[in-house]
Amino acid sequence: MPDPARTRMDALRLVRPELLDLLGYEPIEPVDVLAEELGLPADQIVKLDGNENPYGPSPRVKDALADFDLYHIYPDPEQRRVRQALAGYLGLDSEHIVVGNGSDELLELIACLFLSAGDVAVNCVPTFGMYAFVCEIRGARVVEVPRREDFSLDVAAVQEAARGGAKVVFIASPNNPSGNIISAAELEALLSTGVLVVVDEAYVEFSDRSFVGLVPQQDNLIVLRTFSKWAGLAGLRAGYGAFPKGIAALMRKVKMPYNMNVAAQVAILASLEDREMLQQRVQAIVRERERLSEELAAVPFLRGFPSEANFILYRSQGIDASELWRRLRQQGIFVRHFDTPGVRDCIRITVGKPEHTDRLLAALKEIGGSLAP
Ligand SMILES: *Cc1c(COP(=O)(O)O)cnc(C)c1O
């Protein structure tokens, strides 16, 4: 019998060395874990930290999942029905479409398809942490181009990085965590460098500016989308993207054949059939975003940034952002605090239902009262 401790050591020695001290993606904690930690019932928790949809999925999704009777059969590896439905939704040919286990999986597949060890990708920080994560796992090098003070892109700096030999540029529009979008002129300037531009439109339904219609005319533009935010399917993992046809075919070739489970496929089809109702909820969230923004404009220790997504970024002044985060948490209100350059003194608040905004306002009032001289 080999000594088990020794075998473990030996196997660890075989791991790709660059992965041994990878920082990893920092996920948010699940509600039940948070509730238990605070000793609060789960329904007392106001979860405004994950940009999830407070209304949940369409009721038609629940019915369709209950009625579906082919859970024992493997899904279509080509995902034809779902891609056809998405093609109709986007007004594009289904040959452009690839679906994934969340758009996160598509990011991973893009890195798989384009980035060998040592290749360069450009990341416009602060932004979604997944871009750097998928690159690092591949051993690719991430060049960070900081956004300006108002979080707009430094287009000239991105162009310079792109022309310096980068293969891929990742842009979220609206950007997470800042909520701002890129303009058509900015996108055009990036596409003209010839680098592959990945525009992540995870929050596009809350804004009114999508670039997905440009995909058929461009050979270096990818637009990623998801059902996680607008359609309330974050837990089911339902992402998709529009790609140039040749790249889409390669993406479908390198993906795992059954990468999207049947439940996610059923849920996508049911959501698209109920999209009018889902869009009404999106409108309710947008109205609530405007109310949150107006109410919080009166809070002296917070300065908000204009957002076209389902969250708003705030810079704290006169109180440490981590202290603010901690004090909201004590009251069962969870927001996201950042600890990265450019947003160190910031919290990001997901737009919830009106009653969530009310709880947040009451908590901020109390915190404000305790700060008064
Ligand atoms: C939430 C988020 C995603 C994740 O989408 P999934 O489809 O749930 O994997 C992608 N991009 C950005 C910018 C996000 O904030």
The domains of the chain, with CATH numbers, are 4-55+277-371 (3.90.1150.10), 59-274 (3.40.640.10)
Predicted local distance difference test score (pLDDT) of residue 22: 79
pLDDT of residue 7: 59
Q: pLDDT grade, residue 180 (50/70/90)?
A: very high
**Number of Cβ atoms within 10 Å of the Cβ of 69:** 7
The fraction of the chain above a pLDDT of 70, given in percent, is 97
The Å distance, Cα 11 to ligand 1 centre, comes to 33
Residue nearest to atom 11 of ligand 1 (CA): 202
- The pLDDT value recorded for residue 340 is 87
pLDDT at 195: 97
Selected residue with higher pLDDT from 35 and 281: 281
Report the alpha-carbon distance of residue 340 to residue 365 in Å, rounded. Answer: 27
* H-assigned helices in the chain: 4-13, 17-20, 31-38, 59-67, 80-90, 103-114, 130-137, 155-163, 184-191, 245-254, 262-273, 275-296, 321-330, 354-371
Angle at 133 between CA 159 and CA 171, to 5 degrees: 35
How many angstroms separate the alpha carbon of residue 229 from the centre of ligand 1?
8
Q: 177: which 2 tokens?
A: 């965590």
Q: What integer is the mean pLDDT of 334-360?
A: 95
Q: Which atom of ligand 1 is nearest to the CA of 175?
A: 13
* Residue 103 Cα to ligand 1 middle (Å): 6
Model confidence over 22-33: pLDDT tens digits? 777 777 777 788
> Measured between alpha carbons, how far is 85 from 32 in angstroms, rounded to an integer?
35
Quick one: average pLDDT of 279-301? 97
- Distance from the CA of 25 to the center of ligand 1, in angstroms? 13
Q: Tell me how far apart the alpha carbons of residues 196 and 183 are, in angstroms, rounded to a whole number.
A: 17
- Residue 315 and residue 281: Cα distance in Å, rounded? 28
Question: Smallest Cα–Cα separation from 239: which of 217, 267, 215, 214?
Answer: 267
68 pLDDT band, cuts 50/70/90, is: very high
Measured in Å, residue 131 CA sits from the centre of ligand 1 at 10
Residue 238 is predicted with a pLDDT of 98
> Using a 6 Å CB cutoff, which residues line ligand 1?
51, 102-104, 128, 172, 176, 200, 202, 226, 228, 234, 239
Assign 279 a pLDDT band (cuts: 50, 70, 90): very high
Question: With 90 as the cut, is the pLDDT of residue 271 above it?
Answer: yes
Whether 1 shows a pLDDT value over 60: the answer reads no
What sign does the dihedral 207-213-218-220 (CA atoms) show?
positive
The residue behind tokens 């049911």 is: 270
- CA 340 to ligand 1 center in whole angstroms: 19
**Among 108, 207, 226, 227, which is best to mutate for testing ligand 1, by the most ligand atoms less than 8 A from CB?**
226
CA 228 to ligand 1 center in whole angstroms: 7
Q: Rounded to the nearest whole angstrom, what is the distance from the C-alpha of residue 148 to the centroid of ligand 1?
A: 23
Which ligand 1 atom sits nearest the alpha carbon of residue 50?
1
pLDDT tens-place string over residues 183-227: 999 999 999 999 999 999 999 999 989 999 999 999 999 999 999
What is the atom index within ligand 1 of the atom nearest the CA of 128? Answer: 13
Q: Name which residue sits closest to atom 2 of ligand 1, judged by CA.
A: 202
Could you tell me the pTM of the whole model?
A: 0.94
**Residue nearest atom 3 in ligand 1 by C-alpha distance:** 202
